[in-house]
Amino acid sequence: MKKMWWQEAIIYQIYVRSFKDSNGDGIGDLNGIKSRLDYLQDLGVDTIWISPHYDSPMDDNGYDVRDFYKVSEDYGTLDDFRVFLATAHQKGIKVIIDLVLNHTSDEHPWFLAAKDPHHPEHEKYHDYYIWQPPKYDDLGQKQFPTHWISWFGGPVWEYNPPTDEYYLHIFSKKMPDLNWRNKAMREDLKAMIKWWIDLGVDGFRVDASNHLEKNWDFPDAKPGYENFSSLPKHHEYLEELGKELFEPNNLIIIGESGGATREEALQYAGYDSHEFNMLVQFEHCWVDCDPYNQLTPGKWAKGVVDVARIKHSFKYWIDVFKNKGWNTLYWHNHDMPRIVSHYGNDTDQWHEKSAKMLAYTLYLLPGTPIVYYGEEIGMTNVDYENLTDFRDVEVYTEYENFIRNGASHDVAMQALRDRARDNARSPMQWNDSAYAGFSQVEPWMKVNGNYPSINVKRQRAQENSILNTYKRLLRLRKDESLAFADVTFIDIDHPQSFNLKVSGKDFDYIVLANFKSTPFTMDAVNLEGYEVFLTNSDALRAKERVWRFEPYEARIYRKAK
Ligand code: NOJ
């Protein structure tokens, strides 16, 4: 396999709504991103992925697309997009856009025609979506076709009186699922994809890719996820896109497949696959769920972080793709809590240290890294006080579920504060002026109260800040070709250490880290010939090889080859 440009890319994910407001409406926009390209370049980023920028009623912040060919008025115009893209390209930065193919908004013209029997194009568009007739109980009461549960917590079915049918929506009810078995629908989507390729984008992140196919027998089940996740036929659809559109255009394609099984990895992103170049699955992202919590169950149940599971997951995906495909590296994205609050520690005492530890343990590994905006300054979960502080559509259905399960308001709020996606969507903290320098006016969602101390301006000025640590590690990735590095996990089953041996171009590296909030004594690792390269703690301790590790203490040693 010859080297591809995207193998050594350093990707930065931007949640457009929250990155930088340029026109004073409290909402981030494309011109805002454009004004920060130099910052990204200085950080060492050469590729950005932006969350959906299309016209949308914003039920799910743009993942509900109303018009694929139009830029959301919140974010600018198509001309703004063109200028933003050209400016990024001039600076050597590539741009990946989000491709939402599983569903549209219920305000998309296709759906407006589909749901209305009197619409002149009803015949054509009805079959672009997925419909089922009601069921009736013994008393003649209307029932859902099945008891499947949507990813946002409620039923997947919504009744449409004019056709006396239910439509399927595996996310919010304003996001009806498309029928991928319909060829005309696929052709329409392909024309749209081609249009963005012709406009010059460098790649796509394919949203919710493993949900494109459904079980058309509609068996009853609850929650029934297996009927709309990872069904084999979705690979056929992805391959069709890959062969016709992705491969011929030298694009970077990152597929999102939340339920990707390990067996499927190479099918998605092996060198001889025609689907994606890289995959994001979430195996390492929720290794701290308490299975016994019945009040706020599943991902909402905060438990103990299983460090060995994270290491095994990283190792598994690295091994599986070795010489056969390509790996991605990321701690989290816009669907999870902030990593420093989630797996690190966001108290004043340990914030900086644990954020750096998380950087050391991830960014020397092989593959293509995706840094999530604000991660590079250690942005934390947000101090939301009231339910009305939240913006995410998912929060409101889940809150109701928690209360129904018997949780008190306080317990429900704490689960949201710990785990809600909104934690990772607050405005970027640029400086300590009003609204964190994100906007001149009150932003669309609350700025995190810690912005006076956690912000870009402050960290730029501090040589050893989290920001400068990221800069250093991202530079190191390039200098040492770490994208292609060999790695060994040392003592992988240890529940507290996160130790690696990484072989770069000119140096060998050993990363030693305490992933937890308690000190412990590490088994000595052979460091003969190694020197301290980086530490988040006292340099002397690292130099003298003190084996007692303080909470979150982490070190990188290196030795010339
Ligand atoms: C996955 C996206 O990452 C998430 O934010 C969104 O809500 C769903 N797909 C639906 O598009």
Residue to substitute in 279, 334, 335 for testing ligand 1 pocket (most ligand atoms within 8 angstroms of CB): 335
Residue 185 maps to a domain: yes
Atom of ligand 1 nearest to the CA of 102: 11
Q: Which residues, in sequence order, are CB contacts of 250 under 8 Å at separation 6+? A: none
Question: Could you tell me if 360 and 451 lie in one domain?
Answer: yes
Q: Do the domain assignments include residue 47?
A: yes
Q: Give domain status of residue 465, yes or no.
A: no
**What residue numbers bound the domain in which 519 lies?**
485-560
Query: What confidence tens digit (pLDDT) does each residue in 22-65 have?
Result: 999 999 999 999 999 999 999 999 999 999 999 999 999 999 99
| 256 CA to centre of ligand 1 in angstroms | 9
What's the CATH code of the domain at 154? 3.90.400.10
Indicate whether 152 and 288 sit together in one domain: no
2 Cβ contact list (under 8 Å, min separation 6): none
Torsion 392-174-19-335 (CA) sign: positive
Where a domain ends, among 425, 460, 495?
A: 460
pLDDT (average), residues 103-129:
98
- Exposure of 545 by Cβ count < 10 A (0-12 exposed, 13-18 middle, 19+ buried)? middle
Q: How confident is the prediction for the chain on average, in pLDDT?
A: 97
CATH number at residue 536: 2.60.40.1180
* 335 pocket-lining for ligand 1 (C-beta < 6 Å): yes
Instruction: State yes or no: pLDDT of 435 exceeds 80.
Output: yes
Tell me: do 299 and 444 sit in the same domain. yes
CATH number of 380's domain: 3.20.20.80
431: three-class secondary structure by DSSP: coil
Residues 172 and 152: their CA atoms lie apart, in Å, by 6
**pLDDT (average), residues 121-144:** 97
Q: Whose CA is nearest to atom 10 of ligand 1?
A: 63
Statement to judge: residues 195 and 308 lie in one domain: yes
Residue at 83 is within a domain: yes
Ligand 1 neighbourhood includes 207 CB (under 6 angstroms): yes
**Residue bearing tokens 């990895």:** 265
- Look up residue 544 and give its DSSP letter: T
State whether 237 and 218 are in the same domain. Answer: yes
Q: Quick one: which atom of ligand 1 is closest to the CA of 60?
A: 7
CA 453 to ligand 1 centroid distance, Å: 31
| Main-chain phi, psi angles of 64, to 5 degrees | -110, 90
Q: What dihedral do alpha carbons 492, 494, 499, 501 form, nearest 10°?
A: -30
pLDDT in tens, 319-377: 999 999 999 999 999 999 999 999 999 999 999 999 999 999 999 999 999 999 999 99
Q: How many domains does the chain have?
A: 3
- Minimum CA distance residue for ligand 1 atom 9: 208
The band of 1, judged by pLDDT with boundaries at 50, 70 and 90, is confident
**Does residue 443 form part of some domain?**
yes
Residues marked active site are found at 207, 256
| CA separation, residue 507 to residues 7, 44, 47, 314, 362 (Å) | 20, 20, 26, 22, 18
| Encoded tokens for 176 | 């009806």
pLDDT at 263: 83
Q: 100 CB less than 6 Å from ligand 1? A: yes
Task: Tell me the CA–centroid distance for residue 48 and ligand 1, in Å.
Answer: 18
State the pairing for strand pair 203-207/252-256: parallel
Q: Same domain for 142 and 163?
A: yes
Which tens digits make up the pLDDT trace of 235-275? Answer: 999 999 999 999 999 999 999 998 788 889 999 999 999 99
Query: Using CA atoms, how far apart are residues 397 and 543, in angstroms rounded to an integer?
Result: 52
Would you state the structure tokens that stand for residue 497, as one six-digit string?
């250490």
